[in-house]
Copies of this chain bind each other. A is one copy, B any other.
Amino acid sequence: MGKKYIGVDIGGTNLKAGLVDEDGALLATAKTPVHWVGAEEFVKTLAILSKEAAEKAGVTWADICAVGMGVPGGVDTKAGKVLYTCNIPLSGLPVAELFRRELDVPVYLENDANCAALGEYCAGAGKGCESLIVITLGTGIGGGVILNGKVLHGVNGAAGEVGHMVIEPEGEACPCGRRGCWEQYSSATALARLTREAMAEHPESALWAQCGGVLEKIGGRSAFEAARGGDAAAQAVCDKYLSYLGQGIVNLINIFQPEMLCIGGGVSNESDAALLYPLRAIVERERFGQYCPVKTRIVKAQLGNDAGIIGAALLGAVNS
């Protein structure tokens, strides 16, 4: 029997645990909504979920090599402590130590977006790469960077926040406190906003019929869908969005020159013709040292929403 690991995904609304084998296959999961009553109770819930996931897969707890946790915030990976989080009051909490009072196994903490990157690196699109950047285009932009097989976590566990690179000075306000963050122009949420803005200027657009005049129904897919149907205003939105997205991606490539850049999240479900090919063309035109034949491959993520939990579990494998 190969080695088994537990991955825990600490979300703002749900807590999930999954049993993962050494090849990165997710064999069973357990899930519960977040009900915050206190730190100790919270960590107990994580332990219960972890055992539940192991049991579902028919694995006894003694066979679990390690537990890894993805935290929505900054962590001190060495001390196993949370440095800060925004949605749940975990700041300063020695989660690893508390967890080991419940279940005595090695416990590793990492930022959740970094976990997703590690998942793709070990078991998804990035298998066999030396260096990989994963960006996840959803509500925001998640980012994780793997270099020489190691997660880049920075001095405070919060590295890889590529969505909070300002690409438009004095641009849209971002919850992080800055203005003009990439996330405000290239997340799925941003794409929906750009689409609604274009509709206001284009009463003739097919987007109006598509949403039945209900602007709230406009999401990250609307513009791509209407553009496929031949709507000019929607196509212009897609072009603008791709230009912002490409701008940030080329920035990252010029900084890291990674072997691979991998795009995940809802937006990555669009067809290659609509998303990946135009992006590759932008990168080819704009990347630094474009006469250099060795260059970053740009691909789609493969693990979907499981990337985070798989990567968290494999923290045990890469750190041991």
Of A84, A150, A155, A251, the most chain B CB neighbours within 10 A belong to A155
Check if A159 sits within 8 Å of B255, measured CB to CB: yes
Check if B165 sits within 8 Å of A292, measured CB to CB: no
State whether the Cβ of A161 lies closer than 8 Å to any Cβ in chain B.
yes
Check if A255 sits within 8 Å of B289, measured CB to CB: no
- Find the B residue at minimum CB distance from A247: B166
Main secondary structure of the interface of A (DSSP, over half): loop
Check if A158 sits within 8 Å of B292, measured CB to CB: yes
In chain A, residues 113-164, which have Cβ atoms closer than 8 Å to a Cβ of chain B? Answer: 130-131, 143, 145, 147-148, 150, 152-162, 164
State whether the Cβ of A103 lies closer than 8 Å to any Cβ in chain B.
no
State whether the Cβ of A42 lies closer than 8 Å to any Cβ in chain B.
no
Check if A154 sits within 8 Å of B84, measured CB to CB: no
Check if B154 sits within 8 Å of A292, measured CB to CB: no
Mark each residue of chain A from 161 to 179: 1 if its CB lies under 8 Å from any CB of chain B, else 0. 1101111110000001110
- Find the B residue at minimum CB distance from A244: B169
Instruction: Of the listed stretches A50-58, A206-214, A223-231, A256-264, name the one at the interface; the rest are far from the partner chain.
Output: A256-264
Q: Which of B157, B259, B292 contacts A74 (CB 8 A)?
A: B292
Check if B288 sits within 8 Å of A83, measured CB to CB: no
Check if A83 sits within 8 Å of B255, measured CB to CB: no
Mark each residue of chain A from 210 to 253: 1 if its CB lies under 8 Å from any CB of chain B, else 0. 00000000000000000000000000000000011001001110
Mark each residue of chain A from 283 to 308: 1 if its CB lies under 8 Å from any CB of chain B, else 0. 00110111111111000000000000
Q: How many A residues, CB 8 Å from partner? A: 56
Check if A154 sits within 8 Å of B285, measured CB to CB: no
Q: Which of B154, B161, B293 contacts A131 (CB 8 A)?
A: B154
Check if A158 sits within 8 Å of B289, measured CB to CB: yes
**Further 9 A-B residue pairs, CB within 8 A, beyond A154-B258, A161-B288:** A74-B289, A74-B294, A84-B289, A130-B155, A155-B257, A156-B292, A159-B257, A169-B247, A255-B255
* Across-interface contacts of A169 in B (CB, < 8 A): 167-168, 243-244, 247
State whether the Cβ of A311 lies closer than 8 Å to any Cβ in chain B.
no
* Across-interface contacts of A148 in B (CB, < 8 A): 150
Q: How far is the CA of A261 from the CA of B251 in the complex (A)?
A: 18
* Across-interface contacts of A247 in B (CB, < 8 A): 166, 169
Q: For the complex of A and B, list the 8 residue pairs with the smallest distance between their C-beta atoms, beginning with the closest.
A: A154-B257, A156-B294, A165-B251, A159-B257, A161-B254, A164-B254, A155-B259, A161-B288
State whether the Cβ of A73 lies closer than 8 Å to any Cβ in chain B.
yes
State whether the Cβ of A91 lies closer than 8 Å to any Cβ in chain B.
yes
Q: How far is the CA of A168 from the CA of B164 in the complex (A)?
A: 15
* Across-interface contacts of A162 in B (CB, < 8 A): 254-255
Check if A256 sits within 8 Å of B152, measured CB to CB: yes
